[in-house]
Amino acid sequence: MGAYAAGECGLNRLAAFGLALATLGLAMPCSASAGPQRRLPPGAKWGRCLLVVDGQTRISGKCSYTIYKSGEFHIDGPRQVFDGIDYPKAGNMAAMISKDYWADVFLEDGHWAGYGNDLVASVHGEGDWGVLQRKGACFVGRSVRICLWRA
């Protein structure tokens, strides 16, 4: 089953009620809560994020995030895959996989800074977004806006 919890809708659920129901067109619909639940790395949670870089919206809506004690944080878009969860544990960075955009916001020399991937497949951060100013739930720089809201 990989990273998905048991209870996915499909033939298993239909079989539980018998193929006779399917023949009559009376198959029971799947409930919204029965959908797959992604596993996250330890300490990560689901939230809502906005990541806009150079006018391009990279993440808008559901995301996973980790907040560290210092207030620094990491966000991943909803299609991100995780080392040791969605694929076997990578032995080095070259074996890691990225399927979505991500970003890090951190303290550096007394100010907020950040970076992320410019290409979905990149596991290394490209570029430096410079000094970021906190504005509510967002951190804003000359070319970037990174927002995180807990779910």
- Look up the pTM and report it: 0.75
Q: CA 99 to CA 106: how far, in whole Å?
A: 23
Angle ∠(129,147,42) on CA atoms, nearest 5:
95
pLDDT tens for 40-79 read: 999 999 999 999 999 999 999 999 999 999 999 999 999 9
